Structure 1
Amino acid sequence: MFKRWWALPTTALILAGCQMAGVAPAPGPVAAPEVDDGEMSPPTVARAEVKPEASPAQPTEPKAAKPVELAVPSATDKAADGFLAQLRAGFRLDHDLERKQVRKEIDWLVRNPEYLASKRERGLRYLPYICAEVHKREMPAELCLIPIIESALRPHAFSPQGAVGLWQFMPSTARRFDLTLDWWTDQRRDVALSTAAALDYLEQLHQRFGDWTLALAAYNCGEGRMHRTLRRTPGAETAFDLRLPRETEYYVARILAYAAVFAEPERYGVELPFGPLDSAAPRVAVVETGGQIDLARAAEAIGQDMQYLYNLNPALKRWATPPIGPHQLLVRAEHAEEAQQALASLSNDERMLWARVRIGTNDTLSGIASEYSVAMDTLSRVNGVRGTRIEEGDFLMVPTPFRDWADYPTPFRTGAGGDAIYVVRSGDSLWKISRRLDLDMNLLMRANELTKRSVLQIGQRLSLPGLGGTRSIEEKQVTQEAIAYRVRRNDSLSTIAARFKVSVAKLVDWNDIDPKAFIHPGQRLVVRPADQPPAGG
């Protein structure tokens, strides 16, 4: 049984820590809500007398990314609507207004002006930066409009196929373009990094296929499929010369239609909600943090609340920035100078808090990671552990939050926002759960970032969108049928069984474990209590 000895900050600890989703033919994509990933809350670490400790061996840290200001570009003609003027000046593609699909998409925008109007706040925040990056690369400005269609400009957008972020990267494509997807962060949601990756990908597609409409189509349906289609259609020069999936045809037509409307809104009687942006756009800037930092300390240092940081840094999934960088945060441009100075003034000890944990009998690396809600590879890397073998009596340095986990407003906490929680039990599937609770399965998948191929784990906690504080009696009965119990010190199968008035045999059956096996603190067991569990259970 391991013991918490004390929590302490320690100096210079460094943790080592697309095929694009298609769009439906009907215009106007629906972005997913901001959701969580079902992590259990870590325990509060006892605060004891701080004593200096030698730092563990440090892994090599990559060079921090150079800060880049995400600013509104200046208009070359100094017009009042400078951003829109520069956007229009950058349009280079034939918008093919004579094509039926393009006209149909334009007609839909004309009939539904509220669709673009609803994107005003996110457009002011993200479009100037995206278009500035496109302009730097001398790429067609039509590409600036892709995130409106892909994600409705929502960094937390999630498709049932598993695509995420403004640019809707699938995991394999994201990793191909060096976006990190791990316990700490999902850089598909990072505005700057995902935009750079998306433009890299689009440049490659254009170089491969030689036409921007072909590149756009390949971005949607996949470059492999595009290659095979071109082989079957010799002489094709644009996407409209090919027989493509219907959703891909609409995807290309939609981008061209949006560009046509942005180019001449008066012609179509559409009022764009984004200008004038030279003075009105909320600008954001990147500031260096100097290393991994607890977001509570970062917010305190710059004089803002944590929600401010999570809103501007949607890639962050936990209570701290990623351990291996890039060591930076987005802030509003008007706060950037003071924020940079405040963060630079923090010592290493002020950025992160560490607990020194003694390894006890029957402790495992996974058990300690679960107890403190830290990624196991993070513990291995910072403590120099090879594999998963640890020795009784040794110590591990474990990163811990400065505040209680509930104080961190990250959306990656199951049940955040008041949604009810369902605990997965043996034999469950997304289809069975959605039928039992009368929930739309696609909504359930979006709320929990799952796909139809996702494998549910016994004890996994799912957020139930729409079943919040006023839960139905049926839902209450279901959630009480199975709960995830976190093993504590001195627990055994018999004491847990007695606590919940069930037999040890049932515990063993529900969790598919050996009745003679050791259980460890932090381990999660599925329990179906005979009665309501006692307080604190």
Structure 2
Amino acid sequence: MKINVLFASCILALTSFSAAAQQQRQQILSLQIIDTVAVPVLPETPTFYNHNYVFKARLDSIQKMVPLSYNEHVQKYIDIYSGRKDMMGKMLGLSEYYFPVFEKALKYYNIPEEIKYLPVIESSMNAHAVSRVGATGLWQFMFATAKDYGLNMDNFVDERKDPIQASYAAAAYFKDAYQELGDWLLAIAAYNCGMGNVKRAIIKADSHDFWEIRPYLPQETRNYVPAFIAALYVMKCSGQHQIKSQPTTFVKNTDTIQVSRFVSLPQLATALSIEADALCSLNPAYKKKIVNGTEEEPKRIIIPKVNMAQFAQIYEVLNNTELDVNPKVFLASNDDRRLKKKIVAKPVAAISYHKVTPGQTLSAIADKYQVEVQDLKVWNGLKSSSIVPGQKLKIHNPESSKRKQYAIKG
């Protein structure tokens, strides 16, 4: 059956990188590119009493290339995700559609299959997810990183939302990160906080073991890797936690077509006898619900498998329908919300004081003021990390000799 478009059961939409873009990869690896939207922040647990050897044995049994450590940090997230049965049931349902897409991209770059679980904690596998700082899509790419890994953002499309394109870009990032760090847990950490933060933590800890450098990483990243391991475990061992896969609205049997003209997704949905939202959910990258294909740059549409009865209507939409739309493409500007916050200059005191609140730890206070725990101990004559509510701690500011700019993160 031919309708002047190319049908295929599957397309590997490989990102084409120019030599210049490849050279820029290493620069972008040092940036904080991903802002997770689904990982709850938990306090540190000083002592671990509930070691569960059953969970450890299960993690050992499903481990492949990525180390699946078991400790108190992983256990806390196992408790959370195994308790969120409705959410994880939805993730299992969505995985039936998305995981084959992720797996093909990861396999192409020889990345461990286990990395396919990252979008569970990144975006709850929502292609339209946008974080507070502008990270977008299933893999939560920031604008600059997406551009450097070949993704296109303009007035018609945002390929960060394209499951295929974004998956290949994420796999390419992991290839670069692993070549730099030589460890998959460190590569996962870098995906969250950037290569620069991971390298600095390695130097401070004098170690390449994630669990040893963990105290020197940003708080979100300390939680990010344990959350990834826990989410992978809960999805792989869902039956042991009474979690059942929930059906999704995604059509599983699909075809891929390439079009070289503008096509309205709602009009095509009518021809396919499906809801417009259902077709748009298969093609989430198109901002205006219009596929702007051209002869020079055909565009992909994912559609449910068709039958002969729909042939005439589909042909009409794909070949003979004219749309009243301006075809001019405008490249999108950087949508990093952190760049839109005003930078306010303010004087910084040489010494300030912090009053300890209930539940605060020395580590949390050090993070707040961007200093080291050991410095806090020295400045305040502390022999241990024990502090009590109401206690005042002296904070030395190394930037006191000049005015420092503070940018508020959205």
TM-score w.r.t. the length of structure 2 is 0.60
Change (3 A) 1:91 1:452: same
Q: Using a 3 Å threshold, how does the CA distance of structure 1 residues 336 and 199 change in structure 2: closer, same or farther?
A: farther
Contact in 2 for aligned 1:313/1:329 (Cα 8 Å): yes
CA offsets 1:334-353 (integer angstroms, 9 cap, x no match): 338987996567675x2433
The equivalent position to 1:284 in structure 2, one of 254, 270, 275, is 254
CA distance in 2, matches of 1:103, 1:281: 35
- Work out whether 1:352 is the aligned partner of 2:322: yes
- Matched residue type, 1:202: F
Note the 1:436-455 alignment, pairs <5 A: 451=337, 453-454=339-340
User: Quick one: distance in 1 between partners of 2:204 and 2:85?
Assistant: 40
**Percent of pairs with identical residues:** 24
Cα distance in 1 for residues equivalent to 2:189 and 2:116: 15
1:117 aligns with 2:89: yes
SS of aligned partner of 1:331: strand
Aligned residue in 2 for 1:126: 98
Task: For 1:22-421, list aligned pairs within 5 A.
Answer: 22=36, 26=40, 91-97=64-70, 99-135=71-107, 137-238=109-210, 240-242=212-214, 243-266=216-239, 268-273=240-245, 282-323=252-293, 325-332=297-304, 334-335=305-306, 350-353=320-323, 374=326, 377=329
2:372: which partner in 1? Answer: none
Partner of 2:35: 21
Distance 1:130 1:152 in 2: 14
Contact 1:188 1:194 in 2 (8 A): yes
- Tell me the distance in 2 between the aligned counterparts of 1:300 and 1:191: 24
Q: Cα offset for 1:318?
A: 1.1
CA contact (8 A) 1:27 1:108 kept: no
Q: What secondary structure does 2:302 align onto?
A: strand
- State the alpha-carbon separation in 2 of the partners of residues 274 and 91 from structure 1: 27
Match of 1:516 in 2: none
Q: Distance in 2 between matches of 1:167 and 1:148?
A: 9
Check 1:200–1:450 CA distance in 2 against 1; reply closer, same or farther (3 A cut).
Answer: closer
> Conserved in 2, the CA contact under 8 Å of 1:213 and 1:239?
no
Structure 1 residue ranges without an equivalent (≥5): 1-17, 29-87, 355-371, 382-448, 457-537
**Which one-letter code corresponds to 1:244 in the other structure?**
L
What are the Cα deviations for residues 21-43 of structure 1, in whole angstroms up to 9, with x where unaligned? 04576279xxxxxxxxxxxxxxx
CA distance in 2, matches of 1:340, 1:247: 51
Question: CA 1:262/1:136 → structure 2, altered by over 3 Å: closer, same or farther?
Answer: farther
Relative to structure 1, is the Cα distance of residues 347 and 188 closer, same or farther in structure 2, using a 3 angstrom cutoff?
closer
Shift of 1:111: 2.6
Contact 1:214/1:238 (8 A) holds in 2: yes
1:162 CA displacement: 0.6
Which amino acid is the alignment partner of residue 310 of structure 1?
A: C
Instruction: Tell me, in whole angstroms, the C-alpha distance in 2 between the residues paired with 1:199 and 1:111.
Output: 30
Larger gyration radius, structure 1 or structure 2 = 1
**Where is the helix percentage greater, Structure 1 or Structure 2?**
2
Mark the runs of 5 or more structure 2 residues left unpaired by the alignment: 1-31, 43-60, 343-410
- Deviation by residue 1:12-70 (Cα, 9 ceiling, x = unmatched): xxxxxx61004576279xxxxxxxxxxxxxxxxxxxxxxxxxxxxxxxxxxxxxxxxxx
Asked whether the equivalents of residues 287 and 336 of structure 1 are also in contact (C-alpha less than 8 Å), the reply is no
Structure 1 counterpart of 2:186, one-letter code: L
Q: Which amino acid aligns with 2:100?
A: P
TM-score by length of 1: 0.47
Q: How large is the RMSD of aligned CA atoms in angstroms?
A: 3.6
Q: Is the 8 A contact 1:289 1:343 kept in 2?
A: no
**Residues in 1 aligned to 2:293 and 2:73: alpha-carbon distance in whole angstroms:** 47
Q: Please report how far the alpha carbon of residue 161 of structure 1 lies from its aligned counterpart in structure 2 after TM superposition.
A: 0.6
Alignment partners' CA distance in 1, 2:186 and 2:310? 43
Kindly indicate whether structure 1 or structure 2 has the higher relative contact order, using CA contacts under 8 Å at least 6 residues apart.
1
